[in-house]
Chains A and B, each alone.
Chain A
Amino acid sequence: MSKIKSLEDLMKIKEKALRDLQLRETDKRGKITVAMGTCGIAAGAKDTLKAIVEALNENNINDVSVVQSGCMGLCEVEPTVEVRLEGQEPVVYGHVTPENAKRIVKLHIMSSQVVTDLLVRKGEI
């Protein structure tokens, strides 16, 4: 660690560390839920979860929280992921491999486009 000499140095550390702290806020723009039932985990939901977290991290998105849930009853299309953004209908995606997860972050989270080829269901149940 080189010694801090200026306000800019300090600001840089603040911005870097702030991303960690923002995870401790409860008011978020949206929520991505990864179904982690036995079926989901068997189909690779853990890797999906990691891919989502990484994609959010790479793109500096910290106003969307990632949570886990149990099986949502769509075992045949696991791994499944639900995306809820403020003011929009919830969307459930199926067959979310790590690559597909990255597409969801890029398209849905970053530019509010539904990824139609993965779409399972739209709207409240």
Chain B
Amino acid sequence: MPLAATTILICAGGACISAGEESVKQALEKEIEKYALGDVVRVVETGCMGACSLGPLMVIYPEGVFYQKLTPQAAKKIVEEHILKGRIVKEYLYKMPTGEAVPEAVEKLPFFARQVKIATRNVGYIDPLNIEEYIARDGYFALAKVLKQMSPEQVIEEVKKSGLRGRGGAGFPTGLKWELTRKSQGDKKYIVCNADEGDPGAFMDRSVLEGDPHTILEAMAIGGFAIGANQGYIYVRAEYPLAIERLNIAISQAKEYGFLGEKIMGSDFSFHIEIRIGAGAFVCGEETALIASIEGKRGQPRVKPPYPAQSGVWGRPTVINNVETLACIPPIITKGADWFRSIGTEKSPGTKVFALAGKITNTGLVEVPMGITLKELLYEIGGGSSTGKKIKAVQTGGPSGGCIPSEYFDTPVDYESLQKLGAIMGSGGMIVMDEDDCMVDVARFFLEFTVDESCGKCTPCREGTKQMLKILDKITAGEGAEEDLQELENLATVIKDTSLCGLGQTAPNPVLSTLRYYHNEYEAHVKEKRCPSLKCKQLIRYVIDSSKCVGCTACARVCPVNAISGEVRKVHQIDNEVCIRCGSCIEVCRFGAISKVSP
């Protein structure tokens, strides 16, 4: 293949594909063909570049110009202007809040420039379907080093020394897990990659699987060598079809090149990987439920011990590592534990990938060193609030985590600090909330999720979370009593202490943390029957300000339930008995005459 002069990296992550990446790529290729530039311009589809709110997006090298929010028309214009004539097409550049366009956004924007990429080092930079691009970025060199120069004990020692901890959320030291499994007795052992990512809003694992599948295969082979396993399973949820497709392609390439299979790279070590597809149960992210599911049984957890290190898949010693954890392994082996320790904090070395979502300007994926403060993460990298209203809190760790109020945004992000605040690191989902978000409603949302996903095996989780949800429903409907708050706390404590698995043990966290930091909001709902954030539908009314209403009838026409009445050019009224609080009238009123009040 001749060397190209221009390389176009187009993001083919899930979000960009949904935003129309394919049609943009087709338009690009059509134009390139039209101008007979096929020999000098190369289009490469990469994994997720992280800036999901700006998609579809692409970067053109050698200039490094970043184009965003693309359409097929944009692609045509960019080929005609940029590729052919070297003129940057301003209208598709990233623009700062000041309106200034930034062509080299990837190098200059804090969102990109402040990131430190270890787990996602190749994501968005290489073609995930091309094993040679992975090799060019030192791919499979760690496996070669392990097989040629290291003993399994040395590999485990290196991972232990690096201080790497489980990125799935619990933060268990990875090296220790490997050591325990190596020392366990068993005729066969297994290594499992947990890709059953299920927290609402978190998608870093998907991004790594889609954008750099080979790093997972390499890391699993290294782990297999270290613990003495010849078989690996990737347990990936069925909702990730693209990840499954790219993993399958990567596995067949790795077999072809001899990185998987019998006697890898001329050594005595043989290793095979199979994909197991989950059927959509959140609880299967819990390791014992995951093991049951791999074995073809119903995905339900069991009592620990025995831990998977003693008795896992088919009753054999098993290591289960999260995707992001595994993605850190190859660089630790090639660059060494000391390098890894030089990033992050003493107790939480390395980096963490976060999925920023909610009321934040730059939604998407970012990888940052541990120990960065929430303030830096949310304001400098995340770009602050997207609504113009003050950020009130951030929810970390999904349904197992908790809310952190803005007063604590100087807290460094590491496992211990977040736990002290009643939240957890979790898998790295961060949902940003502003003053319009009601914390009682947020707690209710997450609890609704766990009630849905509780597998039903143990009573505290099955019945307890349901009772908690019932109370929260009552409170948000304005029917709560003061005793309910005490009852919520009691239930939460019992569920935490007595549930069988991590799902139930952490399910009350969103309620407990909001009770702790936003007790006043709960009290307002219970005592005054009032929702301070004007969110809970049963506690608010819509009113029309008679001094502002001009009687244009716009609201009455848009109301889906005909709750608004009034004659033309006369002040309108809303019948709150009929009103369903959909908010359509506020959106259409050009005079700001309609507002919500509580009570």
Contact = CB atoms under 8 A, between A and B. Distances in A.
A18 B40 contact: no
Contacts of B130: 17
A26 B257 contact: no
A14 B40 contact: no
Interface in A23-40: 23-26, 28, 31, 33, 36-37
A17 B133 contact: yes
Nearest to A70: B85
Interface string A42-84: 0000100110111011000010011111100000000000000
A52 B4 CA distance: 10
B3 A56 contact: yes
A26 B5 contact: no
A68 B83 contact: yes
B275 interface: no
A37 B40 CA distance: 17
A28 B62 contact: yes
B388 interface: no
B258 interface: yes
B7 interface: yes
3 cross-chain pairs, A with B, having the tightest CB-CB distances, nearest first: A3-B258, A65-B62, A17-B136
B106 to A, nearest CB: 9
Contact of A49 (B40, B63, B85): B40
A13 interface: yes
A5 B87 CA distance: 47
**Max count, chain A CB within 10 A of own CB: residue among B35, B63, B135:** B135
Contacts of A16: 132, 136
B133 A21 contact: yes
Given A21-B126, A66-B40, 19 more contacts: A4-B257, A6-B266, A14-B135, A17-B130, A17-B132, A20-B7, A23-B4, A23-B5, A23-B6, A24-B7, A24-B9, A26-B61, A28-B62, A46-B35, A54-B2, A65-B5, A67-B63, A67-B86, A68-B84
Given A3-B257, A14-B135, A70-B85, A25 B61 contact: yes
Contacts of A3: 256-258, 261, 265
A5 B136 contact: no
Contacts of A37: 85
A112 B126 CA distance: 33
Contact of B85 (A10, A13, A23, A68): A68
28 contacts: A1-B257, A4-B140, A5-B258, A5-B266, A6-B265, A10-B135, A10-B140, A14-B135, A14-B136, A17-B132, A17-B133, A20-B42, A20-B133, A23-B4, A23-B62, A25-B62, A26-B61, A28-B62, A33-B86, A37-B85, A46-B35, A50-B40, A53-B5, A57-B2, A65-B62, A66-B62, A67-B5, A69-B86
B46 to A, nearest CB: 10
A121 interface: no
Interface of A: 1, 3-7, 10, 13-14, 16-21, 23-26, 28, 31, 33, 36-37, 46, 49-50, 52-54, 56-57, 62, 65-70
Contacts of A70: 85-87
A5 B40 CA distance: 34
Contacts of B265: 3-6
A65 B3 CA distance: 11
Nearest to A26: B64
B138 interface: yes
**Max count, chain A CB within 10 A of own CB: residue among B4, B5, B7:** B5
Contacts of B37: 46
Contacts of B87: 69-70
B415 interface: no
Contacts of B86: 33, 36, 67-70
B104 interface: yes
B62 A53 contact: no
Contacts of A65: 5, 61-63
A5 B4 CA distance: 30
Nearest to A50: B39
B3 A53 contact: yes
B3 A69 contact: no
A54 to B, nearest CB: 6
A102 to B, nearest CB: 14
B107 interface: yes
Contacts of A62: 3
Given A24-B125, A66-B40, A67-B63, A13 B144 contact: no
A39 to B, nearest CB: 12
A66 B63 CA distance: 10
A38 to B, nearest CB: 10
Contact of B136 (A6, A20, A33, A68): A20
Contacts of A7: 141, 144, 148
A3 B86 CA distance: 42
B144 A10 contact: yes
A13 B132 contact: yes
B104 A57 contact: no
A119 to B, nearest CB: 22
Nearest to B84: A36
**Max count, chain A CB within 10 A of own CB: residue among B4, B7, B85, B87:** B85
B107 A26 contact: yes
A49 B5 contact: yes
B2 A53 contact: yes
Contact of B141 (A10, A25, A50, A69): A10
